[in-house]
């Protein structure tokens, strides 16, 4: 197609084609053990929550993968050191090796490092967190996740919900007849 400007000069119009590459870092899913985005447990009852992240440069180039359970309860996996952490306010705890002995807690919840497992293949990393929530996390918690590599970070993403409730009261026999 040709176009003439107001002086009569002719030029050729060209159509630009754009290809959009997938985001470099992405949160693919947050799932509970039953493979749904909604889970529930009692206070102090451990729950498995699985997050899957991807990086088009390869999962090994990721730096950190973070799961936000509530404003006061976050857990992080450091890909390079293979360590998991719990956030105490704005300060991260000392790390424990994923899959090794140790429980990290911050008052709002706990992370069992020995039952936290990592699978990495190609561009994806799947983290199976083993978590419990304290009574400070009662109610519905909206889970979000994000990943970081050396040059960028993904936005917070995910729409999973974890409902934490009190344990039902149990009544034993008093021994009186």
> Residue 141 pLDDT > 70, yes or no?
yes
> Residue 63 pLDDT > 80, yes or no?
yes
Give this prediction's pTM: 0.79
pLDDT tens column, 87-110: 977 778 888 888 888 899 888 999
Q: Residue 128 has which token pair?
A: 């199976």
pLDDT tens column, 2-49: 445 556 655 554 444 544 445 677 788 888 887 888 888 999 999 999
Task: Give phi and psi for 115, each to the nearest 5.
Answer: -110, 15
């Amino acid at each position: 197609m040709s176009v003439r400007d107001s002086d009569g000069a002719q030029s050729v119009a060209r159509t630009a084609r754009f290809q959009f590459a997938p985001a470099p870092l992405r949160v693919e899913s947050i799932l509970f053990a039953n493979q749904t985005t909604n889970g529930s447990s009692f206070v102090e009852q451990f729950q498995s929550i699985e997050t899957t992240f991807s990086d088009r440069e390869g999962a090994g180039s990721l730096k950190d993968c973070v799961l936000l359970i509530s404003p006061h309860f976050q857990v992080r996996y450091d890909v390079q050191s293979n360590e998991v952490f719990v956030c105490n306010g704005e300060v991260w705890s000392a790390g424990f090796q994923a899959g090794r002995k140790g429980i990290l807690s911050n008052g709002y919840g706990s992370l069992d490092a020995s039952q936290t497992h990592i699978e990495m293949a190609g561009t994806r990393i799947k983290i199976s967190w083993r978590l419990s929530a304290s009574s400070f996390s009662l109610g519905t918690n909206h889970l979000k996740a994000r990943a970081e590599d050396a040059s960028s970070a993904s936005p917070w993403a995910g729409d999973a919900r974890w409902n934490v409730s009190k344990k039902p009261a149990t009544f034993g026999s008093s021994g009186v007849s």
